[in-house]
Amino acid sequence: MSDISHASVVFLNPRDNICVAARALESGEEITAGETRVRLNGPIRLGHKIALRQISSGQRVIKYGQTIGFATEMIQPGDHVHSHNLTAGQFDRDYAKCAEVPPDPEPLTGRTFEGYRRPDGRSGTRNYIAVISTVNCSASVSKYVAQRFDSSLLADYPHIDGVIAFTHDGGCAMHFGGEMHHMLNRVMGGMARHPNIGGFLLIGLGCETGTMGYLLEDQQLVQIGGLPSQKTGPLVLSMQDAGGTQKTVEEGVRLLAEMLPRANDVRRETIPASEIILATECGGSDGNSGVTANPAIGVASDMLVAAGGTSVLGETSEVYGAEQLLTRRSVTPEVADKLIERIKWWEWYAETFGAKLDNNPSAGNKEGGLTTIYEKSLGAVAKAGSTALREVYHYAEPIKAKGLVLMDTPGFDPTSITGMVAGGANMVVFSTGRGSCYGCKPTPSIKITSNTPVFERMRDDMDIDAGVILAGESVETVGAGIFDAILDVASGRKTKSEQHGIGEEEFIPWLIGPIL
């Protein structure tokens, strides 16, 4: 547990040879971390690291009790530790599969939310109608259809949150039945049958590689909202068959107008918290993300698991260097092996394009105090809390397991969350240290800041300030507040991003493979 008894710095683990600034510090200030007291050799910004003892060139730098990299020169106590004197390097991780599987948490009973119970038994937190473009060639038409259903047209349908166009830049010029094709099918199928979707319309061009028939068969799609006369399958339109742009738009508008009464015929009811599938994400992170917001999300994750729900960790490229913490918590060697296989795949994938996973921290991450991918990953996996890892999923696979699971997604926030939502996530929590303004439709996204200055500066976009932990509030208290907020938002309270209407452009499927 972090020592935040002194307001100036955070000392995370007795093994650490650095601490983290909890506020901007001046050169010459004296700070205390654990039993160590040092004088600063220069100014230190919020979220940045300070050496607590001498670290020789080539020696490990330790944060969270784990290796975050290696010193590239002699570092003195009180020095700023960052990109100028720290590099990731390579080191072997002891995966110790299933060596530290935690016991099941004490059940948390009686926690509920007001949601939508779907015919297939799943539970939604919102009720949208979706217009899904199966290929980029029908993207504009899909948007035109959705745009016709503005707030005035939906005024008579108060239980419908909106009509969303899900568009993308793929769907053709790919290997039929290949990896890219299957990934895109999983995303489109997952969005169509998502519990937050009350009805959907698929629109294609007609000649694309990603054929409508293959999508319907592969994903076994059936209509949820539908029309009274629609008994044989989902609503689909082909621009070529319909007669072009304008005729397709008019037919799409007609079909959705008929769908509105059926999709509106739902009411919120009391549903146990066990029906929450929570996607966890961190973006625009800083040096305090792994100190405040992410551990607090971890507490909320543990509470959700204790209540019988599902918490999803994504961003495999930002688990890299911390995967050994998860393999130890895996319930079976098979689950650990799935994670290790994905890590090895990512090493191959990055190398194929001449990239390196240890080059991951963005310019903004580094400005906020993060130096190496290992440091970033160790902070990111704090969102996973302390429960056992029960399953590992490929991108956009349907999430069926209860408890803590991992989905293989990239670190790019919109693409990562698109996969988890397509897998069934009906809630999102998103931590940020720099100020990401991300929103997500059809799943509400709760934005949590790692520090108070960002929250104060961007309070129109941020929902929860975890920076209060730096002022002495406990991680457990903030985490419990996040869990309460998850249930509150799941029951209908709008997040800041929902108030702004953000969330359609952020739909970005991950597509791997050659464009032919």
Question: Of 1.25.40, 3.40.50, 3.30.1490, 3.30.70, which CATH number belongs to 128-264?
Answer: 3.40.50
Q: Alpha-carbon distance 355 to 243, whole Å? A: 45
Residue 191 has phi, psi (to 5 degrees) of: -70, -40
Q: Could you tell me which of 172, 177, 186, 183 has the C-alpha nearest to residue 219?
A: 186
Helix (H) or strand (E) holding 200: strand 197-204
* Cis, peptide link before residue 442, omega less than 30° from 0: yes
Q: What is the largest CA-CA distance in the chain?
A: 77
By residue count, the chain amounts to 516
pTM recorded for the entire structure? 0.93
Residue 213 has phi, psi (to 5 degrees) of: -60, -40
The answer to whether the beta carbons of residues 235 and 212 sit under 8 Å apart is: no
Q: Which residue numbers in the chain have pLDDT < 70?
A: 1-6, 223-233, 359-360
Q: Is 67 helix (H, G, I), strand (E, B) or coil?
A: strand
- Per DSSP, the residues of 169-199 read S-SSSS-TTSHHHHHHHHHHHHHHT-TTEEE
**Sign of the CA dihedral running 70, 73, 79, 81:** negative
The predicted-structure confidence for 439-483, as pLDDT tens digits, reads as follows 999 999 999 999 999 999 999 999 999 999 999 999 999 999 999
Q: Could you tell me which of 206, 214, 258 has the C-alpha nearest to residue 235?
A: 258
Residue 360: per-residue pLDDT: 63
Q: Could you tell me which of 474, 497, 391, 377 has the C-alpha nearest to residue 69?
A: 377
Q: Alpha-carbon distance 395 to 423, whole Å? A: 8
User: Which architecture, in CATH terms, is 9-87?
Assistant: Roll (2.30)
Chain center to CA of 78: 35
Helix (H) or strand (E) holding 499: helix 496-500
